[in-house]
């Protein structure tokens, strides 16, 4: 595909949705979710399977597609062999996919969700937004309570715009823009002087809240009401804990600025905390902002 098609292409609307499929017990549920979302956003749907195409697998897929009531012409199965991550990402780029859907895996003994190695690498490297579903359902996941990371970054405005588009289509009840405040010295300050620590904490909250309101002025929220919150804690951990405590259906974060390397694994990147233990469904918004296009060709 000519990269000019992707240059400065906004992160919304979702015109083309891809879903990474494997022939696992959750395939039917994942396809049901993809179908619902493609209909919700009036998007083309691409079913991506990395592996050898066979008559048996085609028949199995057709049975599920028929059962779920897919309409002919609204979806395109793509079968490719190769390295799973590279192949999925190339298919997404070649088809200008705006949103890629994948599924997380549940740890049976701990009732927590984690991302397998392939999905984790996709979350780090994808040049489109990625929706990671923790519990795909035939009935479709309802995204009514959405938490958005309001980190101070140029991408966040694009992420918030994408969330508003998503939330309005989904008719979400609640969207909360959250900013994490990581102050390692705060614990020491609290121990030394509770009054001074409380004063500093309140000043920080007021400062960050003002920043969040400034961010909201940069987007058109329409009639959607958006709450703002500041939370203290280690970045990544704090917002994941907040999302879990608030019973969020969806946590939304920016995509990474670069391909994470072994150094990022040693000095844990914010996104790694979230990917290691998903608090809920996760949407990683990729913004094709200035400087991002060059990475698409690598």
- Give the C-alpha separation, 175 to 226, whole Å: 5
| Residue 80: predicted pLDDT | 96
| Residue 267: predicted pLDDT | 40
Give me the residues of the chain with pLDDT under 70, please.
Answer: 1-6, 105-116, 184-194, 258-269, 289-298
| Residue 235: predicted pLDDT | 87
- Give the C-alpha separation, 108 to 157, whole Å: 37
| Residue 124: predicted pLDDT | 86
| Residue 78: predicted pLDDT | 98
| Residue 269: predicted pLDDT | 57
| Residue 2: predicted pLDDT | 53
| Residue 87: predicted pLDDT | 96
Domains (range + CATH), the chain: 1-134 (3.40.50.620), 142-298 (3.40.50.620)
Phi, psi for residue 201 in degrees, rounded to 5: -60, -45
| Residue 120: predicted pLDDT | 83
Tally Cβ neighbours within 10 Å of residue 197: 18
Say what the pTM is: 0.88
Yes or no: say if 180 and 231 are a contact pair by the CB < 8 Å rule. Answer: yes
| Residue 297: predicted pLDDT | 34
Q: Are strands 250-254 and 16-20 parallel, antiparallel or unpaired?
A: unpaired
Which pairs count as long-range contacts for 171-175, CB under 8 Å and 24+ apart, including other chains? 172/143, 172/144, 172/145, 172/146, 172/224, 173/144, 173/145, 174/144, 174/145, 174/146, 174/227, 175/146, 175/148, 175/224, 175/225, 175/226, 175/227
| Residue 282: predicted pLDDT | 96
| Residue 204: predicted pLDDT | 86
């Amino acid at each position: 595909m000519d990269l000019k098609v992707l240059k400065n292409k906004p992160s919304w609307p979702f015109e083309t949705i891809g879903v990474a499929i494997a022939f696992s017990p959750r395939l039917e549920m994942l396809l049901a979710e993809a179908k619902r979302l493609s209909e919700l956003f009036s998007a083309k749907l691409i079913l991506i399977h990395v592996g050898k195409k066979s008559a048996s697998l085609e028949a199995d897929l057709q049975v599920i597609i028929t059962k779920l009531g897919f309409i002919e012409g609204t979806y395109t199965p793509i079968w490719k062999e190769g390295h799973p991550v590279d192949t999925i990402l190339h298919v997404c780029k070649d088809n200008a996919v705006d949103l890629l859907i994948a599924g997380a895996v549940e740890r049976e003994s701990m009732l927590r969700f984690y991302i397998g190695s392939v999905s984790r690498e996709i979350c780090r490297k994808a040049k489109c937004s990625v929706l990671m579903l923790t519990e795909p359902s035939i009935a479709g996941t309802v995204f009514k309570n959405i938490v958005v990371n309001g980190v101070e970054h140029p991408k966040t405005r694009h992420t918030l715009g994408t969330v508003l588009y998503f939330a309005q289509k989904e008719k979400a009840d609640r969207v909360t823009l959250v900013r994490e405040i990581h102050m390692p010295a705060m614990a020491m300050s609290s121990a030394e002087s509770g009054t001074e620590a409380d004063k500093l904490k309140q000043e920080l909250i007021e400062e960050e809240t003002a920043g969040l309101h400034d961010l909201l002025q940069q987007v058109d929220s329409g009639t959607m009401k958006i709450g703002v919150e500041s939370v203290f804690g280690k970045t990544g951990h704090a917002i994941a804990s907040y999302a879990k405590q608030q019973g969020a259906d969806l946590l939304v974060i920016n995509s990474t600025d670069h391909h994470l390397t072994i150094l990022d694994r040693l000095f844990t990147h914010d996104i790694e905390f979230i990917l290691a233990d998903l608090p809920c469904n996760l949407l990683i918004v990729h913004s094709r902002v200035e400087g991002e296009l060059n990475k698409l060709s690598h």
